Amino acid sequence: MRDLLRDLRLPDRNARYVSLAAAEEMGLVGISSAPRSLRVLVENTLRAAAAAKAGSTGDSLRQAVLSANSLIAAATANGPVSEVEFRPTRLVLQDHSGIPVLADLASLRSIMADRGLDPRLARPALPVDLVVDHSVEVASWARPDALSLNMRREYELNGERYRFLRWAQQEISGLRVVPPGRGIVHQMHLEHLARVVLPDGDGLIAPDTVLGTDSHTPMVGALGVLGWGVGGIEAETVLLGHSVSLLSPQVIGVRLTGELPVGSTATDLALTMTEFLRNVGVVGRFVEFFGPGVCALSVPDRATLSNMAPEYGCTVAFFPVDDTTLRYLELTGRGAEEIRLVEAYCKEQGLFAGADASADPEFARVLDFDLSAVEPSAAGPRRPQDRLPLGTVPASFPEPSGAALAGAAEGRRELADGAVAIAAITSCTNTANPHSMVTAGLVARKAVQRGLAVPSWVKTSLAPGSRAVVHYLEAAGLLPDLEKLGFSVAGFGCTTCIGNSGGLAPEAEERARTEGVRLAAVLSGNRNFEGRIHPDVAAAYLASPALVVAYALAGTVLTDLTARPVGTDPDGAEVFLADLWPTPEEIDAAVGLVAREHFASEKESLFTGGPEWTSLEHPSGPVYDWPAESDYLLRSPFFDGLTHAPLSDLSGARVLVLTGDSTTTDHISPAGAIGADSPAGRYLRALGVEPALFNSYGCRRGNHEVLVRGTFANPKFRNLLTPDVQGSSTLHVPTGERMSVHEAALAYAAEQVPVVVVGGRDYGFGSSRDWAAKGPALLGVRAVLAKSFERIHRSNLIGMGIVPLEFLPDQDAGTLGLTGHEALDVIGLDGLVPRGTVTVRARSAEGEPVAEWRMLARVDTAGELEYVRRGGFLRSVASDLLDAEA
């Protein structure tokens, strides 16, 4: 290892690091021209290999260096694919997915204690931060005390979950918890948690690398931090000291040129880039931005763009460290010594990007993108990649009534089809961006000055990603104007973007449920999937915070904001969006008031919380005292009977669910409200829980009985076996009886019949939701047959021992004539190899052959295959730990 080490000389000390230049001297080819994101990945693999070979011969170290050549060739020159073992320096969790991770760890501790082993040995192998941000709901809004009321309700509903976190915070070494009410995980990550360069735990200085249990973790790539989202299952594996196995990624370079035109925002850029890269196809790739246009983007602008990485499908969205990065680190309260370390290390390792275009890296493919071509946009009505030039939004609303169209054309503001029921400034995507936030505040100021008001049916809310946002809005004098339009601070968390939108204005809810008025939502978020925002909302649109204000004023999405007025002032004069839009000078003046103290003051209390948090009574001791009769936290079922059946062929499998393209993780495992008459709602009512206290599916993820009943229970989900109804419904094929998905799964299990899911393209698109794989596993699903898989969900399926099978080109359920009524045999699983193929045979109810075809098993690496054979990540890792300590 000594052959790879160098000293980094700093004013106050020297630091040792694994040198890429030293590796180049030992035979590493192409590293000095490789993409900078790839240089970080190569350093990670070299450091792990060198540590594993400590004390070995120089020849073996040289071999470790040379093995990285295939990684560089695959990433930049389309060379042969190889496997990579990645070991991040940190983990970041949010509460919806993080609490189940900790609950599984606590369950493992209970098992160890039952076996007479030391439960403290089940602990994180690397630093872990958990941010509580997904639980707050917009129950109160448009009033000065909305924040305090929502926080009070949050603690009332989630007290048991938070007491568990207080126990974990005290008893699990290496874990830090950011309590409720501080901000959104990705903005906290950007402003406070990310280090860019840090000690790696073995006394060496290394790049900050991270995995997070939220698909928008790549947002931190705006700081030059290599990180991506994983499911909670994969996170648990890393937490317990295992590496992540992945195929060597191709790195796509996006050359940015020009500057954003006046009137276009970073949100417009993010939506346009999402459309562009989805059309190109970057799933599973690293995307690295470079070129002269990068200098025109602030770190918050870059973060708005990187945040949308899962929407355009890539693993990583990366901006190299440069002078702009260093200025942002200083603004957000990082210390001078820390910033000097970042600059010195990145320059020494070739990770610092300068202005010299001749030094641009070599990529597998380069795409050109002109910032000056970006126009004001929205995206919707159901997918974030469906970008709409602003003037085309009215035509996109699904089948509005003629009266609603006429009213919009005449400028009438009325509660009809297309009415905006929710206008939410929310989510990490845009509330991390001071430019976007002050633009919204300035639009609100001008609207107030013109005497405009928001219609009574519009539910308005402001949920900043951090408390720093409120500080600089107050410094600019813009918060009162937002409040006058109803955009009072409702919470510091994800709120509407995760589906915690709360109830609608009573008049909107009444008209939707009794008269069928089809409502719309406009939010400054990153996801607008069907059924995610609110069950009574027919269409949801993503837009910049300023456009959220504009649509709130208009009261309908059927108004063309580029040509029609947003309202009429008290004198009867029409007011257009152009009248409200601030000048660049006005925006720059307000952004110039953003100061270091706005961030530094929040950093001091980041992990302490207020009196509600510190006063929570909680158990102590290394083993969690599971509350009797809890309806929130149960011991995990995934470690029961750690023996498992070997991977084997399927005979006579039945289709539990048949679904089409773009089935999201929200469809599979919803995060929002639990319906009183849903299978999960009926279960909770049987326990004596009143519907007002159901909370959300996301907050109930520590209770597998709720979540298994919630699987495929999104109120907008449509199973093609019962296409005339929505929600949890399927057909028990042998009897022809309709029942819930959960009931059918129980019936098949009693009959000892294996079940599968058949889907279309982009199966598992959306959030890195481990319960979208855990739920099907508990339902007995053995395989998912789909046209293509989103990266994180494919990994989660493997993590639960479910085999993802991909149709070959030009084949899918439709072309094969499958109806879901067939019995399926899957042949070749018992001898499976990485990325091998299997044969599937479909038989009719009478046993007659229907079709036979080959499918690709998307078990990509030898490590993944081993996990599948052993019943998944959780069982495999738990078995290893228990065996090692026995």
- Alpha-carbon torsion angle 239, 245, 251, 252, nearest 10: -80
Whole-number pLDDT of residue 357: 63
Cα(6)–Cα(16) distance, integer angstroms: 6
Whole-number pLDDT of residue 49: 78
Q: Identical fold at 377-594 and 645-669+711-869?
A: no
For residue range 314-339, list pLDDT tens digits in order: 999 999 999 999 999 999 999 999 99
DSSP notation for 399-412: S--HHHHHHHHHT-
Q: Is the pLDDT of residue 669 over 60?
A: yes
The whole-chain average pLDDT of the chain stands at 93
C-beta of residue 766 within 8 angstroms of C-beta of residue 738: no
DSSP notation for 102-127: HHHHHHHHHHHHHTT--GGGS--SS-
Query: Given pLDDT bands bounded at 50, 70 and 90, which one contains residue 58?
Result: low
Name the DSSP class of 884: H
Q: Is the pLDDT of residue 26 over 90?
A: no
DSSP notation for 20-78: HHHHHHTT--SGGGS-HHHHHHHHHHHHHHHHHTTTS-HHHHHHHHHHHHHHHHHHHS-
Q: Which CATH number fits domain 377-594: 3.40.50.10190, 3.40.50.300, 3.30.200.20, 3.30.499.10?
A: 3.30.499.10
Tokens of 536: 């009574």
Query: Given pLDDT bands bounded at 50, 70 and 90, which one contains residue 359?
Result: confident
Tokens of 205: 């200085």
Query: Given pLDDT bands bounded at 50, 70 and 90, which one contains residue 642?
Result: low
Whole-number pLDDT of residue 53: 57
For residue range 429-474, list pLDDT tens digits in order: 899 899 999 999 999 999 999 999 999 999 999 999 999 999 999 9
Q: Is 717 helix (H, G, I), strand (E, B) or coil?
A: coil
Whole-number pLDDT of residue 363: 96
Whole-number pLDDT of residue 791: 86
Cα(71)–Cα(59) distance, integer angstroms: 20
**Predicted model pTM:** 0.91
Residue 255 identity (one-letter amino acid): R
For residue range 477-515, list pLDDT tens digits in order: 999 999 999 999 999 999 999 889 999 999 999 999 999
Does the domain at 645-669+711-869 match CATH 3.20.19.10? Answer given as yes
**Cβ-proximal residues to 670 (8 Å cutoff; 6+ apart), any chain:** 499, 531, 532, 697, 710, 713, 714, 715
For residue range 465-478, list pLDDT tens digits in order: 999 999 999 999 99
Cα(734)–Cα(725) distance, integer angstroms: 20
Cα(566)–Cα(444) distance, integer angstroms: 12
* Mean pLDDT for the stretch of residues 592-608: 93
* Mean pLDDT for the stretch of residues 612-621: 94
Query: Given pLDDT bands bounded at 50, 70 and 90, which one contains residue 408?
Result: confident
Of 213, 220, 202, 177, give the one whose Cα is nearest residue 4: 202
Domain limits of the chain?
A: 2-76, 377-594, 645-669+711-869
Q: Is the pLDDT of residue 413 over 90?
A: no
C-beta of residue 783 within 8 angstroms of C-beta of residue 840: no
Name the DSSP class of 167: H
14 to each of 6, 344, 366, how far by Cα in Å? 10, 11, 38
CB neighbourhood size of 463 (10 A): 33
Comparing 812 with 84, the larger pLDDT belongs to 812
Q: Is the pLDDT of residue 703 over 80?
A: yes
Query: Given pLDDT bands bounded at 50, 70 and 90, which one contains residue 672?
Result: confident
Tokens of 873: 């990540």
- The pLDDT > 90 percentage for the chain reads 80
Whole-number pLDDT of residue 54: 52
Q: Is 772 helix (H, G, I), strand (E, B) or coil?
A: helix
Whole-number pLDDT of residue 3: 80
Counting every residue written for the chain, the total comes to 886
Q: What is the CA radius of gyration of the chain?
A: 27
DSSP notation for 266-287: HHHHHHHHHHHHHHH--TT-EE
What counts of helices (H) and strands (E) characterise the chain?
A: 32, 32
Residue 541 identity (one-letter amino acid): Y
Query: Given pLDDT bands bounded at 50, 70 and 90, which one contains residue 394?
Result: very high
Query: Given pLDDT bands bounded at 50, 70 and 90, which one contains residue 558?
Result: very high
Cα(420)–Cα(700) distance, integer angstroms: 29
Residue 485 phi/psi, 5-degree rounding, is -95, 5
Helix (H) / strand (E) containing 165: helix 146-171
